[in-house]
Structure 1
Amino acid sequence: MTFLLLPLLLASLFPSSSCNKANKHKPWIEAEYQGIVMENDNTVLLNPPLFALDKDAPLRYAGEICGFRLHGSGVPFEAVILDKATGEGLIRAKEPVDCEAQKEHTFTIQAYDCGEGPDGANTKKSHKATVHVRVNDVNEFAPVFVERLYHAAVTEGKLYDRILRVEAVDGDCSPQYSQICYYEILTPNTPFLIDNDGNIENTEKLQYSGERLYKFTVTAYDCGKKRAADDAQVEIQVKPTCKPSWQGWNKRIEYAPGAGSLALFPSIRLETCDEPLWNIQATIELQTSHVAKGCDRDNYSERALRKLCGAATGEVDLLPMPGPNANWTAGLSVHYSQDSSLIYWFNGTQAVQVPLGGTAGLGSGPQDSLSDHFTLSFWMKHGVTPNKGKKEEETIVCNTVQNEDGFSHYSLTVHGCRIAFLYWPLLESARPVKFLWKLEQVCDDEWHHYALNLEFPTVTLYADGISFDPALIHDNGLIHPPRREPALMIGACWTEEKNKEKDKAGDNSTDTTQGDPLLIHHYFHGYLAGFSVRSGRLESREVIECLYACREGLDYRDFESLGKGMKVHVNPSQSLLTLEGDDVETFNHALQHVAYMNTLRFATPGVRPLRLTTAVKCFSEESCVSIPEVEGYVVVLQPDAPQILLSGTAHFARPAVDFEGSEGVPLFPDLQITCSISHQVEAKKDESWQGTVTDTRMSDEIVHNLDGCEISLVGDDLDPERESLLLDMASLQQRGLELTNTSAYLTIAGVESITVYEEILRQARYRLRHGAALYARKFRLSCSEMNGRYSSNEFIVEVNVLHSMNRVAHPSHVLSSQQFLHRGHQPPPEMAGHSLVSSHRNSST
């Protein structure tokens, strides 16, 4: 019995070797750890704490954790086991870590058990867990200024938002300790202030007569309140007042008509106050929008100017003066320009439909149809209307014409600053083509003249006599063709829809007179004048330029001496000139040669405002100068007025039988018309003369044109039953002159030379009906030029009818006609040729 119990006891005290060697499970740790270590320390605080578990516990060795291993390249950390039984461990830095060198570290960690015995055989490892360790910064570095000494200069009498900026940096790694939170001026009683960004400004206006150099000390603090180890010194110099500006220019510039090109700034120079510049740009703007239609142009009437420029005849006026034969313009608001031309206002709800056929001068037959060669010509003043939609077009003219082959269509529209011409050669077969231009003239709310020449497929648009090719040409094949019915509308266009809701178009909507009513849309908002079309022949570029180009503007011709790097740009209307360069002296020279020019002999007098704006770029943005705007004006002086002098026989008598003849009696048989200009001339001083030298006037005869003459009655009007004035109509028509003959006056209108007017007026005759008991008449003759701007003297002729004279029965009593001739010209005391006159109510315009 004793021998049986002893082996059992030994077996319980000493387990078999097969049981001790059992290591069935791997250690287990968390999948990820977050750690924090303070800079210059080595202990890492982990979350969660580092514990490794083994399911073989509580077996010795197999259930114990012997250690941890770290994996990664150059990991500055190590892991140690604190308690094998519980698996507790920690991570620590091998040496103090530096945040400035590396802010974060990432590596992996594994736990391993003690194996199956003291020798560590059959050790098992856990999975690899990721460890992220962030190094917390310590405020170990003080701020350091980028510069030890800061220097700036200011002009006296100014308050600056920023004179200069000081800057300090901090070597710490965290935002808390690496950022500079504020700066401080240490020197007391200084008139300066520094903000948290290091910007220094003055708190009062500095005076050059007082302190000329301010020196003070500034320091910086990081957000951990650590002060800079070394403070910075600041020096601010006060300079005397210098005003960057243009010097040596005159506000008032007088221009005498006929002077050619006149320099606007002959002595101008730019004062930069020693501030170095690397770019200068100046813009000179001449404002002429208040002069007639946008600028100074020839003062003749439209009809007279067309004749002078050699324009072809045959144009049709689409917006004539309202009258019995032109009633379609009666509903429009009418204005008159400075040159007495007719202007129509379209308010955005109105349009006019021009009747076809003889009334409008346009026919619907093939002989009068729209060809692929025609010229549209008109004046327009148009601006962008704020309340109109951005996508809404405004129609200037819309026209569908019946040709031999079918129907053609075109329309001219504006859209913002764009103008578009849609042309449909044949609605039945061809596709429409749309030509587009983008011009600042279209939307600047100023007067401009437009002429559109169509020589399909070429279209040229002229604005103020300057040609522009289309920027874009679209083949708009998807456009729905308009109704095949002749119609011509100005100020809007029609759609194909029937106008079932007429009230939507407003009370001013226009309906066609044939077919279904049209729905009107795309109304025009602006001013139109001088609207004409001429089919079959185009106006040449030279004629259009002669008719409508501005005769005044800015001028620059000194290109030969233009310095290196200088650029000159003049806009098409010559109202805006831009200079650009990089050298001040070269720029001064160029600006001194900018000129004003007016090519009209009789320029419109008055003021032309002038503005010079300058933009500069400096090498130093902090101290860059600003050049104030220059405003002046050109005064176009009153031109020397032409003196139109009429002279001839002022009084004559003739027998009644002469007046009763079929030809009557010439009123002005020896009429002479002269035109001269008087101008001021300084008299030469003789060396022996001790008195005062005075100015005198001299007169130069010039070759000029007249545009109208009028013969009127002094006293009662003519009695058509007994008397009449006669002129050769064939001679007038041959020269393109117009005649108006009433009982009160007779007028001849049209531009022609003085010689032609002399010839025609010498043929003017006075005729009496046989037996008329009239004994005396007085006739007044006056002529004008430049659309009535200048007038002649009034030449009065007194005529006596000798009823008692009988040359056949009493030859001995016949008096020589010379006894009744009195020559004269009756000039007014102040010389009427000098006087500007308003247009007579009967004169031609």
Structure 2
Amino acid sequence: MLPGRLCLVPLLLALGVGSGGGSGDGGDSRRRRLLAAKVNKHKPWIETSYHGVITENNDTVILDPPLVALDKDAPVPFAGEICAFKIHGQELPFEAVVLNKTSGEGRLRAKSPIDCELQKEYTFIIQAYDCGVGPQEAAWKKSHKAVVHIQVKDVNEFAPTFKEPAYKAIVTEGKIYDSILQVEAIDEDCSPQYSQICNYEIVTTDVPFAIDRNGNIRNTEKLNFDKQHQYEILVTAYDCGQKPAAQDTLVQVDVKPVCKPGWQDWTKRIEYQPGSGSMPLFPSIHLETCDGAVSSLQVTAELQTNYIGKGCDRETYSEKSLQKLCGASSGIIDLLPSPSAATNWTAGLLVDSSEMIFKFDGRQGAKIPDGIVPKNLTDQFTITMWMKHGPSPGVRAEKETILCNSDKTEMNRHHYALYVHNCRLVFLLRKDFDQADTFRPAEFHWKLDQICDKEWHYYVINVEFPVVTLYMDGATYEPYLVTNDWPIHPSHIAMQLTVGACWQGGEVAKPRFAQFFHGSLASLTIRPGKMESQKVISCLQACKEGLDINSLESLGQGIKYHFNPSQSVLVMEGDDIGNINRALQKVSYINSRQFPTAGVRRLRLSSKVQCFGEDVCISIPDVDAYIMVLQAIEPQITLQGTERFWRPAAQFESARGVPLFPDIKIVSTFAKTETSGDTRTTGTAPKSAVLEEMLHNLDFCDILVLGGDLDPRQECLELNHSELHQRHLDATNSTAGYSIYGVGSMSRYEQVLHHLRYRNWHPSSLETRRFRIKCSELNGRYTSNEFNLEVSVLHEVKVSEKEHVNHLIVQPPFLQSVHHPESRSSIQRSSVVPSIATVVIIISVCMLVFVVAMGVYRVRIAHQHFLQETEASKETEMDWDDSALTITVNPMEKHEGPGHGEDETEGEEEEEAEEGMSSSSSGSDESEEEEEEGTGRGRHGQSGTSSQSPGRGTWNTAGVVNIWK
């Protein structure tokens, strides 16, 4: 029955039926309240608490349990329905909505996306409301208060970031650290999962470092300051969601060296530009002692050049040029000269052509030709050589002969010899038998470590019998052992001088070499009759490079120093470290050669330290550096001058001869690259090569005869010795040419070449002679161009006086053809022979004067003169040689036919004749002066070669007509 009654309540309320009847608003209100109390008896019911979860940046809240309200008034309309859920709290970002009034189902949602980073949890009160008794929200009943607790679920939207953009740490080399430094990253996410850093990682590969999950960086191996001064590594971080950092951080680790005693602030590679003079080697060097109590310091700087040439950079001139340069006396005999036609005994030896070093491998020797060295060296002589020798092979070493003079046949006696035996240098000298038949010093022994150290050394043996002195690298050594022997009995057996082995001519079935040398030799010379001075010896072996000290005055007090003779070793000592540092900063390298040998020179700095009363003193490691000598600018030597000229035969026959190179010029240039300053168009400065002249010495000039050697019976090349001696040069002469040698400037060689003359006593059989000249610097390292010279002889041809006059009148062809060679060779002749045009003008003027004079004269005595000319012509026809008239022609040109070139030259001759009228007077005056100087000078082709005889009316009383063709 109750449900039926409940259903009637709403209907009655709608019809306005009350229990008391009556009318009016007050009655209606009471009736409604009464009805509601009767109908909406229960309030809604919900759970007492709810737990919800909402995902960040979302609006849906998932509640547990679900939001559902129940009302026992159901199914009564309004009273049994749920109309609302209300949340109590200020500015809560949530709202609750009713999904179904009848079932009471509701939903909790966010008004806007929730940010976990702003608030992770929310707690508030919620109540459910039924619909009361009608739609006007009248008499709604609310449930009890339920607590809602909502957690915001985090989203991994933020990447880790490091607190510092970069980290820096300093570590000491040679140590292993547990933690060098710690990096730290943070994450702005709200949840522990996404806000915590779970891992750190080093991004840079191949570095000796590691990092743990807490960001601690450690080194995995001992660091070395010399290997690397600084490390830069990149580190990233990961949160627990494995999201990496947005930007890596830079970690800089500086390696601080352990305080090690040693030299600081020096450069391993030092470049030296040729011609730069003295260059400091250690301008900033200083010694670090690590607070060691140093009482004194000794520093040794050593320049190691043993692998350069003969031990260091020396002049590479020939031995003759070096002897001349050092002021050695004449008479030296080079036993190992450069192979040539005249010195062919060294042709079969192994040669290093760049330094003229001869290598002996124990299987070869060289015979010196007879007559090169005198048989009797006298009691005074000098032997010099460069030698590089190592330990002798084998257990029982044999003698290794450097120089040996022994019997050529029959016997095997050694008259004098120089050899190495068991790393001892031995000089043997057996004097010839004389009246004193007694023991005499015969063998002189020196025991030196340098003999077998495989390094180059310079040896000089000065003999002043019975005293023999050895100079090695400028230092004097007396023999430690001298043995005596009997003199050699006289005989008529010829002797053989050899190098690299000893000739065994007797006591064997077949003569052969024996006692071969193993090593290298250079500049082996012998000087009979004189000993060399200490000054010359020092000059011959002097190095052109070495160590030097700039400003000795500023070395400071208490500094002691000394050099070795070659200045390759410098030793400094002192008590004050600061003074030693400043002194060492002044040590420099110098190379005085204009063209030094390019390459590496090793440099070593060693130190010895003494400390104050301490058992253990600091140790300073050596400094190993090297000097790189750069390539010098290579000169281009050029010879310039007249390449072809003609001379009359009389000049070749004269005592002075013909100067071959009167105008030769020697010029040396090098290409210098210059950068143009105009960069507006290309943006880069264009480079252009400019030739600049440079000055340097020459060491020889060779003049070779081409087309066959000179015939000493009729021709030669001559040069006054005074021209050589005053310029400190020397020369050798042969039928093959002339060789001028000696170290001298280019101007000196020019002056000497200007005086070189060619003579020929029989030039009638000679037409041309050709010569070639070539000059050198540094023994052929730099050579000039090959300058060729051609010299021609102007021969004289005699003709009769009648034929001479006829030639003048008829204008013979050879006068016309004189113009033709001018077009081909006037340039070459201009510097030596006068212009052909000048000759033609003079001849034309003379002809004109002659014709006028002859015309006047014939008017007076035409008949008589005609008879005299007829008789004279008959006499001259019978004897050609009686005529005083001679015509000089050039045999180098072919004589052209009578009619050839007449049309071309006739007009030219007329023009030249007109021009010659104005200069006839001056030409006549000059002819008189040259007539007195003789016909030889007239053949040079100078102006004014003719004069009129007042007695006979003939041209040139000497009867000489100069014709160049």
Q: Normalised by the size of structure 2, how large is the TM-score?
A: 0.47
Say which structure is richer in helix.
Answer: 2
Deviation at 1:381, TM superposition (A): 0.8
Task: State the match for 1:790 in structure 2.
Answer: 782
Q: 1:791 to 1:532 in 2, by over 3 A?
A: closer
Select which of 728, 731, 736 maps to 1:737. Answer: 731
Q: Is the 8 A contact 1:370 1:408 kept in 2?
A: no
Q: Give distance in 1, aligned partners of 2:604 and 2:696.
A: 38
SS in 2 for 1:572: coil
Q: Is the 8 A contact 1:395 1:413 kept in 2?
A: yes
Q: Give distance in 1, aligned partners of 2:704 and 2:767.
A: 22
Q: Give distance in 2, aligned partners of 1:631 and 1:410.
A: 46
Q: Give distance in 1, aligned partners of 2:401 and 2:425.
A: 10
Task: State the match for 2:332 in structure 1.
Answer: 315
Task: State the match for 1:529 in structure 2.
Answer: 522
Select which of 356, 362, 366 maps to 2:374. Answer: 362
Q: Once the two structures are superposed, what CA deviation does each residue of 1:262-302 show, in whole Å capped at 9, x if it has no partner?
A: 32212211223333334544332222233222222222211
Aligned: 1:596 with 2:603: no
Q: Give distance in 1, aligned partners of 2:791 and 2:440.
A: 71
Task: State the match for 1:511 in structure 2.
Answer: 504
Deviation at 1:766, TM superposition (A): 11
Write the letter of the residue equivalent to 1:304: S
Q: 1:359 to 1:811 in 2, by over 3 A?
A: same
Q: 1:748 to 1:376 in 2, by over 3 A?
A: closer
Q: Give distance in 1, aligned partners of 2:564 and 2:392.
A: 24
Aligned: 1:274 with 2:291: yes
Aligned: 1:375 with 2:368: no
Q: Give distance in 2, aligned partners of 1:596 and 1:289.
A: 16
Q: Which has the larger radius of gyration?
A: 2
Aligned: 1:820 with 2:823: no
Aligned: 1:750 with 2:741: yes
SS in 1 for 2:775: strand
SS in 2 for 1:476: strand
SS in 2 for 1:534: strand
SS in 1 for 2:701: strand
Q: 1:256 to 1:409 in 2, by over 3 A?
A: same
Aligned: 1:469 with 2:477: yes
Write the letter of the residue equivalent to 1:447: W
Q: 1:324 to 1:741 in 2, by over 3 A?
A: closer
Write the letter of the residue equivalent to 1:592: Q
Q: Give distance in 2, aligned partners of 1:772 and 1:300.
A: 38
Q: Give distance in 2, aligned partners of 1:240 and 1:309.
A: 53
Q: Give distance in 2, aligned partners of 1:267 and 1:527.
A: 41
SS in 1 for 2:627: strand
Q: 1:275 to 1:206 in 2, by over 3 A?
A: farther
Q: Is the 8 A contact 1:725 1:764 kept in 2?
A: no
Aligned: 1:630 with 2:608: no
Q: Give distance in 1, aligned partners of 2:340 and 2:702.
A: 25
Q: Give distance in 2, aligned partners of 1:621 and 1:468.
A: 41
Q: Is the 8 A contact 1:678 1:700 kept in 2?
A: no
Q: Once the two structures are superposed, what CA deviation does each residue of 1:774-809 show, in whole Å capped at 9, x if it has no partner?
A: 9xx997654322222233355566889999999996
Deviation at 1:545, TM superposition (A): 2.4
Aligned: 1:432 with 2:441: yes
Deviation at 1:432, TM superposition (A): 2.3
Aligned: 1:446 with 2:462: no
SS in 2 for 1:442: helix
Write the letter of the residue equivalent to 2:289: T
Q: Give distance in 1, aligned partners of 2:523 and 2:506.
A: 25
Select which of 419, 423, 426 maps to 2:425. Answer: 419
Select which of 249, 261, 279 maps to 2:278. Answer: 261
Task: State the match for 1:288 in structure 2.
Answer: 305
Say which structure is richer in strand.
Answer: 1
Task: State the match for 2:464 in structure 1.
Answer: 455
Write the letter of the residue equivalent to 1:748: S
Select which of 713, 717, 727 maps to 1:728. Answer: 717
Q: Is the 8 A contact 2:653 2:759 kept in 1?
A: no
Q: Is the 8 A contact 2:447 2:480 kept in 1?
A: no
Q: Once the two structures are superposed, what CA deviation does each residue of 1:114-150 show, in whole Å capped at 9, x if it has no partner?
A: xxxxxxxxxxxxxxxxxxxxxxxxxxxxxxxxxxxxx
Q: Once the two structures are superposed, what CA deviation does each residue of 1:178-215 show, in whole Å capped at 9, x if it has no partner?
A: xxxxxxxxxxxxxxxxxxxxxxxxx996999xxxxxxx
| Matched pairs, number | 549
Q: Give distance in 2, aligned partners of 1:740 and 1:353.
A: 23
Kindly indicate whether structure 1 or structure 2 has the higher relative contact order, using CA contacts under 8 Å at least 6 residues apart: 1
Task: State the match for 1:571 in structure 2.
Answer: 564
Q: Give distance in 1, aligned partners of 2:653 and 2:506.
A: 51
Q: Once the two structures are superposed, what CA deviation does each residue of 1:449-493 show, in whole Å capped at 9, x if it has no partner?
A: 2111112344332224x14131x544535x68888777666578x
Instruction: Map 1:135-534 onto structure 2 (within 5 A).
Output: 156-157=173-174, 241-319=258-336, 333-339=349-355, 341=356, 343-347=358-362, 358-363=370-375, 369-385=376-392, 387-389=394-396, 394-398=400-404, 410-414=416-420, 418-421=424-427, 428-432=437-441, 435-464=444-473, 466-470=474-478, 473-476=480-483, 510-513=503-506, 524-534=517-527
Select which of 653, 662, 670 maps to 2:663. Answer: 670
Deviation at 1:669, TM superposition (A): 3.7
Write the letter of the residue equivalent to 1:586: N
Q: Give distance in 2, aligned partners of 1:635 and 1:239.
A: 31
Q: Once the two structures are superposed, what CA deviation does each residue of 1:231-281 show, in whole Å capped at 9, x if it has no partner?
A: xxxxxxx99623433222222323344444332212211223333334544
Q: Is the 8 A contact 2:303 2:604 kept in 1?
A: yes
Deviation at 1:647, TM superposition (A): 3.1
Q: Percent identity?
A: 40
Aligned: 1:718 with 2:725: no
Q: Give distance in 2, aligned partners of 1:560 and 1:329.
A: 51
Task: State the match for 2:938 in structure 1.
Answer: none
Deviation at 1:585, TM superposition (A): 1.9
Q: Give distance in 2, aligned partners of 1:539 and 1:325.
A: 26
Q: 1:429 to 1:588 in 2, by over 3 A?
A: same
Deviation at 1:694, TM superposition (A): 11
Q: Give distance in 2, aligned partners of 1:693 and 1:614.
A: 51
Q: Give distance in 1, aligned partners of 2:633 and 2:427.
A: 45
Q: Is the 8 A contact 1:651 1:798 kept in 2?
A: yes
Aligned: 1:607 with 2:600: yes
Q: Give distance in 2, aligned partners of 1:537 and 1:611.
A: 41
Deviation at 1:375, TM superposition (A): 0.5
Deviation at 1:580, TM superposition (A): 3.9
Q: Once the two structures are superposed, what CA deviation does each residue of 1:587-619 show, in whole Å capped at 9, x if it has no partner?
A: 212222222222333333333222223344556
Write the letter of the residue equivalent to 1:242: C
Q: Is the 8 A contact 1:393 1:413 kept in 2?
A: yes
Task: State the match for 1:837 in structure 2.
Answer: none
Deviation at 1:638, TM superposition (A): 3.7
Q: Is the 8 A contact 1:709 1:747 kept in 2?
A: yes
Q: Is the 8 A contact 1:433 1:474 kept in 2?
A: no
Q: Normalised by the size of structure 1, how large is the TM-score?
A: 0.52
Q: Is the 8 A contact 2:424 2:451 kept in 1?
A: yes
SS in 1 for 2:470: strand
Q: Give distance in 2, aligned partners of 1:353 and 1:698.
A: 48
Instruction: Map 1:757-796 onto structure 2 (within 5 A).
Output: 757-760=750-753, 763=756, 781-793=773-785, 795=787
Write the letter of the residue equivalent to 2:392: T
Deviation at 1:527, TM superposition (A): 2.0
Q: 1:578 to 1:648 in 2, by over 3 A?
A: same
Deviation at 1:445, TM superposition (A): 0.9
Q: 1:632 to 1:157 in 2, by over 3 A?
A: same
SS in 2 for 1:737: strand
Q: What residue ranges of structure 2 are gaps of 5+ in the alignment?
A: 1-170, 177-219, 226-254, 678-683, 725-729, 808-813, 832-965
Deviation at 1:549, TM superposition (A): 1.9
